[in-house]
Amino acid sequence: MSRVLLASNNKKKLEELRRILTPIVPGIEVLGLGDVPAYDEPAETEPTFEGNALLKAHAALAATGLPSIADDSGICVDALNGMPGVLSARWSGPAKDNHANNVLLLGQLEDVPDERRGASFVAAVAFVRPDAEDEIVIGEMRGSVIRSLRGTGGFGYDVLFQAEGYDRTTAELSIEEKDAISHRGKALRTLAPMVAKALGS
Protein backbone atom coordinates (compact mmCIF):
# COMPACT_ATOMS: atom_id res chain seq x y z
CA MET A 1 0.00 0.00 0.00
CA SER A 2 1.31 3.45 -0.93
CA ARG A 3 1.62 5.92 1.91
CA VAL A 4 1.33 9.68 1.74
CA LEU A 5 1.51 12.17 4.58
CA LEU A 6 -1.07 14.89 4.91
CA ALA A 7 0.69 17.70 6.75
CA SER A 8 -2.19 18.80 8.97
CA ASN A 9 -3.26 18.54 12.61
CA ASN A 10 -6.72 19.90 11.83
CA LYS A 11 -8.95 16.88 12.41
CA LYS A 12 -11.86 18.13 10.30
CA LYS A 13 -9.57 19.14 7.45
CA LEU A 14 -7.85 15.75 7.64
CA GLU A 15 -11.19 13.95 7.48
CA GLU A 16 -12.25 16.05 4.49
CA LEU A 17 -9.01 15.45 2.61
CA ARG A 18 -9.03 11.70 3.33
CA ARG A 19 -12.69 11.43 2.33
CA ILE A 20 -12.03 13.01 -1.05
CA LEU A 21 -8.62 11.53 -1.84
CA THR A 22 -9.01 7.88 -0.77
CA PRO A 23 -11.72 6.87 -3.30
CA ILE A 24 -9.85 8.57 -6.15
CA VAL A 25 -6.42 7.04 -5.40
CA PRO A 26 -6.93 3.28 -4.85
CA GLY A 27 -4.68 1.60 -2.31
CA ILE A 28 -3.44 4.80 -0.72
CA GLU A 29 -2.90 5.12 3.03
CA VAL A 30 -3.25 8.73 4.11
CA LEU A 31 -1.33 9.52 7.28
CA GLY A 32 -1.80 12.65 9.36
CA LEU A 33 0.75 14.44 11.52
CA GLY A 34 -0.51 12.46 14.49
CA ASP A 35 0.70 9.27 12.78
CA VAL A 36 4.35 10.34 12.48
CA PRO A 37 6.98 11.53 14.97
CA ALA A 38 6.54 15.18 15.84
CA TYR A 39 8.65 17.77 14.07
CA ASP A 40 8.83 21.55 14.07
CA GLU A 41 6.13 22.76 11.71
CA PRO A 42 7.01 25.91 9.79
CA ALA A 43 5.25 29.20 10.38
CA GLU A 44 3.00 30.22 7.50
CA THR A 45 5.15 33.14 6.42
CA GLU A 46 4.54 33.17 2.67
CA PRO A 47 2.30 35.86 1.11
CA THR A 48 0.36 33.35 -1.03
CA PHE A 49 -1.65 30.17 -0.45
CA GLU A 50 0.65 28.35 -2.89
CA GLY A 51 3.77 29.45 -1.03
CA ASN A 52 2.45 28.32 2.35
CA ALA A 53 1.25 24.97 0.99
CA LEU A 54 4.68 24.26 -0.51
CA LEU A 55 6.40 25.39 2.69
CA LYS A 56 4.38 22.94 4.80
CA ALA A 57 4.69 20.08 2.31
CA HIS A 58 8.48 20.42 2.04
CA ALA A 59 8.85 20.54 5.83
CA ALA A 60 6.84 17.32 6.12
CA LEU A 61 8.90 15.62 3.42
CA ALA A 62 12.19 16.71 5.00
CA ALA A 63 11.11 15.47 8.44
CA THR A 64 9.64 12.12 7.41
CA GLY A 65 10.89 11.18 3.96
CA LEU A 66 7.30 10.44 2.97
CA PRO A 67 5.56 11.87 -0.10
CA SER A 68 3.66 14.76 1.43
CA ILE A 69 0.54 16.78 0.72
CA ALA A 70 -0.21 20.11 2.37
CA ASP A 71 -2.82 22.74 1.80
CA ASP A 72 -3.28 26.36 2.64
CA SER A 73 -6.69 27.86 2.28
CA GLY A 74 -8.80 30.78 3.30
CA ILE A 75 -11.57 33.17 2.45
CA CYS A 76 -10.97 36.16 0.18
CA VAL A 77 -13.63 38.86 0.53
CA ASP A 78 -14.11 41.25 -2.39
CA ALA A 79 -15.05 44.25 -0.21
CA LEU A 80 -11.86 43.76 1.83
CA ASN A 81 -9.60 43.63 -1.23
CA GLY A 82 -9.15 39.88 -0.93
CA MET A 83 -8.56 39.77 2.81
CA PRO A 84 -8.41 37.86 5.13
CA GLY A 85 -6.71 35.65 2.50
CA VAL A 86 -3.63 33.88 3.88
CA LEU A 87 -4.42 35.42 7.29
CA SER A 88 -7.84 33.72 7.48
CA ALA A 89 -7.02 31.37 10.37
CA ARG A 90 -5.38 34.18 12.38
CA TRP A 91 -7.74 37.01 11.39
CA SER A 92 -8.74 37.79 14.99
CA GLY A 93 -5.33 36.93 16.47
CA PRO A 94 -2.77 34.15 16.85
CA ALA A 95 -5.16 31.86 18.79
CA LYS A 96 -6.83 30.80 15.50
CA ASP A 97 -10.28 31.03 17.12
CA ASN A 98 -12.90 30.22 14.47
CA HIS A 99 -15.78 31.93 16.28
CA ALA A 100 -13.78 35.09 16.96
CA ASN A 101 -12.67 35.17 13.31
CA ASN A 102 -16.28 34.89 12.12
CA VAL A 103 -17.57 37.56 14.50
CA LEU A 104 -14.78 39.95 13.48
CA LEU A 105 -15.43 39.42 9.76
CA LEU A 106 -19.18 39.98 10.16
CA GLY A 107 -18.46 43.19 12.05
CA GLN A 108 -16.12 44.43 9.34
CA LEU A 109 -18.82 43.82 6.71
CA GLU A 110 -21.73 45.17 8.77
CA ASP A 111 -22.28 48.21 6.54
CA VAL A 112 -21.52 46.45 3.25
CA PRO A 113 -24.67 45.91 1.12
CA ASP A 114 -25.62 42.40 0.03
CA GLU A 115 -24.62 42.97 -3.58
CA ARG A 116 -21.04 43.78 -2.50
CA ARG A 117 -20.53 40.84 -0.14
CA GLY A 118 -18.98 38.53 -2.75
CA ALA A 119 -16.20 36.22 -1.61
CA SER A 120 -14.22 33.16 -2.60
CA PHE A 121 -12.91 30.24 -0.65
CA VAL A 122 -9.50 29.41 -2.14
CA ALA A 123 -7.34 26.35 -1.51
CA ALA A 124 -3.84 25.61 -2.73
CA VAL A 125 -2.79 21.97 -2.37
CA ALA A 126 0.85 20.95 -2.83
CA PHE A 127 2.23 17.44 -3.39
CA VAL A 128 5.97 16.91 -2.99
CA ARG A 129 8.15 13.82 -3.01
CA PRO A 130 11.87 13.01 -3.14
CA ASP A 131 13.66 13.71 -6.42
CA ALA A 132 10.57 14.87 -8.27
CA GLU A 133 9.01 18.09 -9.43
CA ASP A 134 6.55 19.75 -7.05
CA GLU A 135 2.87 19.62 -7.96
CA ILE A 136 0.51 22.38 -6.87
CA VAL A 137 -3.12 23.00 -7.73
CA ILE A 138 -5.69 25.66 -6.87
CA GLY A 139 -9.41 25.25 -6.16
CA GLU A 140 -11.94 28.05 -5.75
CA MET A 141 -15.55 28.25 -4.58
CA ARG A 142 -17.39 31.52 -5.24
CA GLY A 143 -20.19 32.79 -3.07
CA SER A 144 -20.99 35.51 -0.57
CA VAL A 145 -20.78 36.33 3.12
CA ILE A 146 -24.21 36.32 4.77
CA ARG A 147 -25.17 38.48 7.77
CA SER A 148 -25.33 35.88 10.55
CA LEU A 149 -23.75 32.57 11.53
CA ARG A 150 -25.74 29.54 10.36
CA GLY A 151 -25.16 25.80 10.50
CA THR A 152 -23.19 23.33 12.57
CA GLY A 153 -21.19 21.43 9.94
CA GLY A 154 -17.82 22.19 8.43
CA PHE A 155 -15.30 24.46 10.09
CA GLY A 156 -13.70 27.87 9.80
CA TYR A 157 -15.82 30.37 7.89
CA ASP A 158 -18.38 27.78 6.66
CA VAL A 159 -21.04 29.21 9.00
CA LEU A 160 -21.13 32.55 7.17
CA PHE A 161 -20.36 31.55 3.56
CA GLN A 162 -23.10 30.81 1.05
CA ALA A 163 -21.89 29.26 -2.21
CA GLU A 164 -23.28 30.50 -5.52
CA GLY A 165 -26.53 28.75 -6.38
CA TYR A 166 -27.28 27.72 -2.79
CA ASP A 167 -29.61 29.19 -0.17
CA ARG A 168 -27.73 27.52 2.70
CA THR A 169 -24.28 28.12 4.14
CA THR A 170 -21.59 25.54 3.55
CA ALA A 171 -22.02 24.65 7.24
CA GLU A 172 -25.62 23.66 6.46
CA LEU A 173 -24.76 21.42 3.50
CA SER A 174 -24.38 17.67 3.76
CA ILE A 175 -20.86 16.30 3.60
CA GLU A 176 -21.54 15.03 0.07
CA GLU A 177 -22.90 18.39 -1.10
CA LYS A 178 -19.95 20.30 0.33
CA ASP A 179 -17.32 17.91 -1.03
CA ALA A 180 -18.81 18.25 -4.52
CA ILE A 181 -18.38 22.04 -4.64
CA SER A 182 -15.71 22.94 -2.09
CA HIS A 183 -12.49 24.68 -3.01
CA ARG A 184 -10.48 21.92 -1.36
CA GLY A 185 -12.53 19.23 -3.09
CA LYS A 186 -11.91 20.82 -6.48
CA ALA A 187 -8.19 21.10 -5.83
CA LEU A 188 -7.90 17.54 -4.57
CA ARG A 189 -9.81 16.07 -7.49
CA THR A 190 -7.37 17.87 -9.80
CA LEU A 191 -4.38 16.64 -7.78
CA ALA A 192 -5.54 13.04 -7.29
CA PRO A 193 -4.51 11.72 -10.75
CA MET A 194 -1.05 13.23 -10.24
CA VAL A 195 -0.75 11.47 -6.86
CA ALA A 196 -2.01 8.19 -8.33
CA LYS A 197 0.52 8.35 -11.18
CA ALA A 198 3.40 9.28 -8.88
CA LEU A 199 2.66 6.53 -6.38
CA GLY A 200 1.94 3.92 -9.03
CA SER A 201 -1.69 3.38 -8.01
pLDDT (0 to 100) of residue 27: 83
Residues that constitute the known binding site for Mg(2+): 72
State phi, psi for 73 to the nearest 5 degrees.
-145, 165
Number of domains in the chain: 1
Residues that constitute the known binding site: 8-13, 72-73, 155-158, 178, 183-184
* Nearest alpha carbon to residue 33 among 5, 72, 53, 56: 5
Residues acting as catalytic residues: 72
Each residue's pLDDT expressed in tens, for the chain with a length of 201 residues? 689 999 988 887 788 878 888 888 878 888 999 999 999 989 999 999 999 999 999 999 999 999 999 999 999 999 999 999 999 999 999 988 999 999 999 999 999 999 999 999 999 999 999 988 999 999 999 999 999 999 999 889 999 999 999 999 999 999 999 989 999 999 999 998 899 888 875
> In this structure, are residues 91 and 76 in contact, taking their beta carbons and an 8 Å threshold?
no
pLDDT (0 to 100) of residue 201: 53
Residues that constitute the known binding site for substrate: 8-13, 73, 155-158, 178, 183-184
**2: CB partners within 8 A, 6+ apart:** 25, 27, 28, 29, 67, 199, 200, 201
CATH code, domain with 169: 3.90.950.10
DSSP states along the chain: -EEEEE----HHHHHHHHHHHHHHSTTEEEE-GGGS----PPP---SSHHHHHHHHHHHHHHHH-S-EEEEEEEEEEGGGTT-BGGGGGGTT-TT--HHHHHHHHHHHTTTS-GGG-EEEEEEEEEEE-TTS--EEEEEEEEEEE-SS---SSS-GGGGGEEETT-SS-TTTS-HHHHHHH-HHHHHHHHHHHHHHHHHT-
Residue 184 belongs to domain spanning: 2-199
